Structure 1
Amino acid sequence: MINKDKLVSLLISKGIPVKETPRYKGIGYRIKLENGTAVYIYDSGGFFCQGNNADQVREAIEDEIVDEPNNKVFVVYGHDETARKQLQRLLEELEVEPIFLDDQPTEGRTIIEQIVKYIPRANFGIVLMTPDDIGYPKSRPEQKQPRARQNVVLELGMLLMKFKRSGTAILLKDVDPPIEKPSDIDGVLYLPYKEDVFEIKQKLIREMKSKGYEMEASK
């Protein structure tokens, strides 16, 4: 749930003057801005922006609300549809809402713009690292090794920038030969599984509970 006072302070820090903050119909607050835009904060959680500059105000808020408690996680994935469906079922079973980029409206944005828009809506990042590609050193082409898709590695880096190592988990498919891990990311949590993402359910629950998610390990 978004805190009204914290949001007012955020708007002011962004150079967006606040005019008044009256209660709204007993269900939240309406923050009136000097530029004519109104931000509605609901007691049940969430917010809505209305007015000529609504898009800019909403984006300014979304850039910073990652610390607000919610039940969403941003999921990065490759070409393994089976693993994607397994993870989706697991998260839904835990009453956690996954944000899969291809399920979101594009509204004319590029992929990078989509990622920048939706990552701040979650408090935790999960990367499905599956053996979708094959790579090898140019000097030794015989050393072929499974790798994750390039977009997965790129998006992993973006998650680390936002959630840090403690807020990012890599679900690593255990194959032979093993998937090549990205370099220079020591300390990131790897949760290996062989056939089914549900194998790491209890470990994932522990990590997400440590970040404030409310769930029962016995589910």
Structure 2
Amino acid sequence: MPFQDMLNDRVRVMRSSGEEHTDIPASVQKNKIFIQQSDILIEAGDFVERKMSNGGIELYEVIDPGFHEGLGSIPAGYQMVVKKSDGKKEPQLVTSQNGNNPKIFIVHGHDDLAKLTLARFIEQIGLNPIILHEQASSSKTIIEKIESYGDVGYAIVLYTPCDVGSKTGEENKPRARQNVVFEHGYFIGRLGRSKVTALVKGGVETPNDISGVVYIDLDDRGAWKMDIAKELQHAGYTVDLSRAL
């Protein structure tokens, strides 16, 4: 039987950032919960709620999200270690950071692993990642959602090779999605260049007509984490560099 067919439970994930994901297929097994999705972020301290067949509700706190990248026919997802909660503890949203807005907007393309890795790091250093598709639409258009959820203190832009393109007559090269370039410019205008950083994966083309913009190599060794932490410090955030390693 395919593993996906064993996901007979339906759960609601309640994130410490205040975001929620509902009706997610899962398998709840004592102190473990399996969710085979990579398009949502789940961290230690988040909560998972399962509605029972008798109408009751079980609430679990995530101890270890256990994210895996997938193997063979098994897609990427979570094998979480959890513990039952008495319902008294609720996810806590970070509301301030030395007077700075703790919400960090993540601009991304189709590279889910890069997006989730960055979001985990942002939470690891005590800030709140904002991923647009995780926010409620409320009948808003995309640009209206960006305007609505763009009330953040900082933005990090992921330039990942999701598209290809070139000048007429030249060889195609890897490019970021068009929305990434657009949102990069939007947040520079909204927040100022000092509060926007771009992470660039591989040889992805970047805009050549914007001077003074910070680009950081999204390297496999993870050195980018220290670079991001330093940029956040420069912008006025207090970041424990030991947590950035």
SS at match of 2:150: helix
- Note if 1:159 corresponds to 2:187: yes
Q: How many angstroms does 1:139 deviate by?
A: 2.7
* TM-score, normalising length: structure 1: 0.64
**Structure with the bigger percentage of strand:** 2
CA contact (8 A) 2:106 2:119 kept: no
Identity of counterpart residues, as a percentage?
Answer: 36
Q: How many angstroms does 1:161 deviate by?
A: 0.4
Q: In the alignment, what sits opposite 1:131?
A: 161
Distance 1:214 1:71 in 2: 11
Runs of 4+ deviating beyond 4 Å:
none
* TM-score, normalising length: structure 2: 0.57
- Note if 1:85 corresponds to 2:116: yes
CA contact (8 A) 1:70 1:213 kept: no
SS at match of 2:242: coil
Q: How many angstroms does 1:71 deviate by?
A: 1.3
- Note if 1:192 corresponds to 2:217: yes
Out of 138, 153, 178, the position equivalent to 1:107 is 138
Letter in 2 for 1:205: A
Alignment of 1:1-219 (within 5 A): 69-120=100-151, 122-140=152-170, 143-174=171-202, 178-195=203-220, 198-219=222-243
Query: RMSD of the TM alignment (CA)?
Result: 1.7
Letter in 2 for 1:210: H
Flag structure 1 segments of 5+ consecutive residues without an equivalent.
Answer: 1-43, 47-67
Number of residue pairs matched by the alignment: 148
Q: How many angstroms does 1:79 deviate by?
A: 0.3
CA contact (8 A) 2:95 2:102 kept: no
**Larger RCO, structure (CA 8 Å, separation 6 or more):** 1
Distance 2:124 2:134 in 1: 19
Computing the radius of gyration from Cα coordinates, the structure with the larger value is: 1
Flag structure 2 segments of 5+ consecutive residues without an equivalent.
Answer: 1-93
Letter in 1 for 2:210: I
SS at match of 2:113: helix
CA contact (8 A) 1:106 1:114 kept: yes
CA contact (8 A) 2:106 2:115 kept: no
Letter in 1 for 2:153: N
Q: Deviations over 1:123-144 (max 9, x none)?
A: 111001101001022233xx11
CA contact (8 A) 1:132 1:147 kept: yes
Distance 1:151 1:136 in 2: 17
CA contact (8 A) 2:198 2:216 kept: yes
Q: How many angstroms does 1:45 deviate by?
A: 5.3
Q: How many angstroms does 1:195 deviate by?
A: 2.7
